[in-house]
Amino acid sequence: MGIREERDKRVKWFMNDRFGMFIHWGLYSIPAVGEWKRSYERISLEEYDKYFDAFNPVDYDPEKWARLAKGAGMKYAVLTVKHHEGFCLFDSQYTDFKATNTKCGRDLVREYVDAFRKEGLKVGLYYSLFDWHHPDYHHYGDLYHPMRDNEEFKDYKYDINRYLEYMHNQVRELCTNYGKIDLFWFDNSYGDMVGEKWKATELITMMRKLQPEMVINNRLECNASAKGSIGTSNPTVYAGDFVAPEQIIPPQGILDDEGMPLPWEASCTMNNNWGYVTNPNNYKTAKCLIRKLVECVSKGGNFLVNVSPDARGRIPSQSEKVLLEIKEWFEENEDSIVGCGKAALEKPEWGYYTQKGNKIYAHLFEQNIGPIPLKIETSRIKRITSLHDMSEVMIVTPWVTELFPDYTFINFQEPPQGTFPLQNEIDT
Ligand code: JFZ
């Protein structure tokens, strides 16, 4: 099997499931200004240790997270098992900078994978390639390192190979000690730290051997704004299985150089922050997130929505509220998302189409004043149903079709506000 056939086999569940939960959690939940704090404020290792000493998430209950995700229609999750700060939520034998050595004394990743699997969700691990804690990661002069302009580190000698050995060892632990891992999310390449600078061929070969079915993103080779060789006819072995745009939904989905659709997943915050912050004031509404989910699916992509647990280990109540609202919508409209992809029809003015087999779901984003103009031949439509209550929607109002012969109109009552999928079964 070629690289592309293997990829298509691996991503089957991923492209079917469509909706996931991103979880950014680490020591940075304590200062509560986001996961980049150490870099932004040039905080020394010693000073940052105070968060290690304080870490004690007494309310960590991943089953609660899993139930919330599942309720909202999310089918998989991705947890930051090590973010750029280098702190490990898992019990790694290669470092002391880990949750099991803090007051909490628990392997938080073990509990996460157990809890999410128990709810029937697929489990993903986010692992940061940069590591601001490891002594052999770049210091002075590195684009992002907290000590990048600290003169004390000007002549500091580090050996990147020692870091790479550490990183490879940890990835091996993660692929060995936690059962079947469904997804691995690397973050991220930058500057000249791309691909083989991470010894990527060696790393991927090891990962594929340990977890042959695991879906891996493309960031061993690129950053958030690139697709990398996955889009070419000759992808590298570490090109990854999907493209990972961040905080943006590509206008037309993502295609390879031959115009064939690529697997992709857009990740997005709920409140403009990945890590926990106190009193965020820019929460997206459930309605906005549902619409973005629909948009992703209509363009053949996935949507990964982030939550930021606090230092006690709780998903903030505002996020919980949004997820419960999404749950309400999902309970009635799941069929228009899961297993769906890009429709064979052009994007309509009033919303988006998604499609699954011979069913076309028309997501009405706009309040229409009367019949919805569907550009489909009436004879090809078997039935139109409004998905939320399964009521029949009548087709055709003859006088309008005379006025607009190339449209098919349906007779339609005023739709309720919000995204509102219609289910059209088309005779194919
Ligand atoms: C990265 C992380 O730095 C961030 O903390 C968060 O985890 C996010 C999901 O991923 O953010 C990036 C990575 C790459 C780019 C921008 C943000 N980029 O290449 O523009």
Q: What digits encode the pLDDT tens for the residues 278-312?
A: 999 899 999 999 999 999 999 999 999 999 999 99
Ligand 1 centroid from CA 284, angstroms:
19
Answer yes or no: is pLDDT of 415 > 60. no
Answer yes or no: is pLDDT of 314 > 60. yes
Atom of ligand 1 nearest to the CA of 83: 7
**One-character DSSP codes across 341-365:** EE-SSPPPTTEEEEEETTEEEEEE-
| pLDDT confidence of residue 417 | 55
Q: Which residues pair with 123 in a beta bridge?
A: 77
Tokens encoding 253: 């989905």
Ligand 1 centroid from CA 36, angstroms:
10
Report d(CA 268, CA 285) in Å as an integer.
Answer: 13
**One-character DSSP codes across 273-330:** -SS-BSS---PPPHHHHHHHHHHHHHTT-EEEEEE---TTSPPPHHHHHHHHHHHHHH
Half-sphere exposure for 34 (CA within 13 Å, toward CB): 11
Give percent of the chain with pLDDT exceeding 90: 82
Look up the ipTM and state it: 0.94
Q: pLDDT, tens digit, for every residue of 78-112? A: 999 999 999 999 999 999 999 999 999 999 999 99
Element (H, E) at 410: strand 408-410
Please state whether beta strands 76-82 and 341-342 pair in parallel, antiparallel, or not at all (unpaired).
unpaired
Tokens 């128990």 locate to 118
Of 262, 144, 168, give the one whose Cα is nearest residue 220.
168
Q: What is the mean pLDDT of the chain?
A: 93
CB of 39 shorter than 6 A to ligand 1: no
Q: pLDDT, tens digit, for every residue of 124-169? A: 999 999 999 999 999 999 999 999 999 999 999 999 999 999 999 9
> Before 56, cis peptide (omega within 30)?
no
Element (H, E) at 122: strand 122-128
User: Which of 269, 274, 307 to probe ligand 1 with, by most ligand atoms within 8 A of CB?
Assistant: 274
Of 213, 203, 241, 206, give the one whose Cα is nearest residue 122.
213
Ligand 1 centroid from CA 85, angstroms:
13
Q: pLDDT, tens digit, for every residue of 180-211? A: 999 999 999 999 999 999 999 999 999 999 99
CB of 274 shorter than 6 A to ligand 1: yes
CB of 35 shorter than 6 A to ligand 1: yes
CB of 364 shorter than 6 A to ligand 1: no
Tokens 């280098």 locate to 86
Half-sphere exposure for 280 (CA within 13 Å, toward CB): 22
Report d(CA 227, CA 424) in Å as an integer.
Answer: 34
Half-sphere exposure for 4 (CA within 13 Å, toward CB): 11
Furthest-apart CA atoms within the chain: distance in Å = 82
**One-character DSSP codes across 19-44:** EEEEE--SGGGTTTB-TTHHHHTT--
User: Which of 188, 303, 305, 308 to probe ligand 1 with, by most ligand atoms within 8 A of CB?
Assistant: 188
